[in-house]
Amino acid sequence: MVRAARVVVSGRLGSGAPPGGVRAAVGGAAVGGTAVGGATRPRPPVLAGFAPQAALAPGGDAEREAERAGVTQTEVFPLALFATGGLMLFPAANDLITLFIALEVLSLPLYVLCGMARRRRLLSQEAAVKYFLLGAFSSAFFAYGAALIYGYAGTVDFGGIAAAP
């Protein structure tokens, strides 16, 4: 099992906050809060370190607890991992083809996640189909734009597109 390093930042925010009043954690639950007028306000741990938490979810404690509780929809964890991987591929893209693949790797698991509601399944599936159609049209526009840029610049590489006359 691979464990992520836990990064904790603590310190003062100005002179009014007590030592250790501002803390943040990545790779686990966030502790601490936002300094307001010398006091700290607790922050919800939901958004702190979202990408590392989504990447750690498959095979983690939350998945094992869900299996013990009888929750059968544990496919959420690998789908979230694929979506996170597609999201992390965006900054690594050096050309339009890689950018398009990253967009598809990000969006396809999200279509499936959209349609996996336990309650009100029919509305969830309808939303997933509408989301898929909207994504298909936007992917077609992206591919058409990439083809136009390729026709103008003769390359899909970002450096070559920038150097085109």
What is the percent of the chain where pLDDT is above 90? Answer: 42
The label of the residue with tokens 């501002």 reads 22
Burial degree of 87 (CB within 10 A; 0-12, 13-18, 19+)? middle
Name the one residue in this structure whose structure tokens are 């979202």.
50
What does the pLDDT look like over 52-103, one tens digit per residue? 555 555 567 776 776 787 766 668 888 999 999 999 999 999 999 999 999 9
- Residue environment code for 63-84, b if the CB has 16+ CB neighbours within 10 A, otherwise e: beebeeeeeeeeebbebbbbbb
Encode the chain in three state secondary structure.
CCCCCCEEEEECCCCCCCCCCEEEEECCCCCCEEEECCEEEECCCCCCCHHHHHHHCCCCHHHHHHHHCCCCCCCHHHHHHHHHHHHHHCCCCCEHHHHHHHHHHHHHHHHHHHCCCCCCHHHHHHHHHHHHHHHHHHHHHHHHHHHHHHHHHCCCEHHHHHHCC
List pLDDT tens digits, range 154-163: 999 999 999 9
pLDDT at residue 152 in the model:
95
Q: Report how far apart the first and last C-alpha atoms of the chain are (Å, whole number).
A: 51
pLDDT value at position 148? 97
In the prediction, which pLDDT does 52 show?
A: 53
8-28 pLDDT tens trace: 444 444 444 444 444 444 444
> What is the reported pLDDT for 142?
96
Per-residue pLDDT tens over the stretch 107-136 = 999 999 888 877 778 888 899 999 999 999
Give the C-alpha separation, 153 to 158, whole Å.
Answer: 10
Kindly tell me if the per-residue pLDDT of 145 is higher than 90: yes
Residues 6 or more apart in contact with residue 156 via CB below 8 angstroms: 95, 96, 97, 146, 149, 150
Mean pLDDT, range 16-44, rounded to an integer:
46
